[in-house]
Structure 1
């Protein structure tokens, strides 16, 4: 998994019809874009350091646009 600042991190629910979490990557620890990431979660407006698991994927900023949410 590779990401850049401004990309979205999306974590799918483990339960059928459960909510997904979406956050904006605000910080990287590695210059190659590999985890961990600092993410600002859109549902709670706080930042956390995360090592994404198998239910996570990155949506690159160019895929959703500068102002997409």
Structure 2
């Protein structure tokens, strides 16, 4: 999984009735766009995560053709 700052991570519900939630990538802490990521959820909560298998990436259009931004 490779993401860029500004991309959105979609977490799908793993059980019936569990709502999908989203987080915006604030910082890529791994190398070459890999985890961990610092993200902000819809409710404003910020944390560092290693996304699991139920996570989908919505890349920003301006990142689709470019290389991942470097980590800190």
TM-score range, shorter chain: 0.7 to 0.9
* Cα distance in 2 between the residues matched to 1:48 and 1:32: 20
- Pairing 1:1-69 to 2, within 5 Å after superposition: 1-42=1-42, 44-62=43-61
Superposition TM-score, scaled by structure 1 size: 0.81
* Cα distance in 1 between the residues matched to 2:27 and 2:46: 10
Q: RMSD value over aligned CA atoms?
A: 1.5
> 1:4-58: per-residue Cα shift (whole Å, max 9, x none)?
000001110111242011010001112400011111001x211110000010011
Superposition TM-score, scaled by structure 2 size: 0.78
**SS state at 2:61 partner:** helix
Which has the higher Rg, Structure 1 or Structure 2? 2
* Cα distance in 1 between the residues matched to 2:5 and 2:31: 11
Structure 1 regions of 5+ residues with no counterpart?
Answer: 64-69
* Cα drift, residue 61 of structure 1: 1.1
Structure 2 regions of 5+ residues with no counterpart?
Answer: 63-72
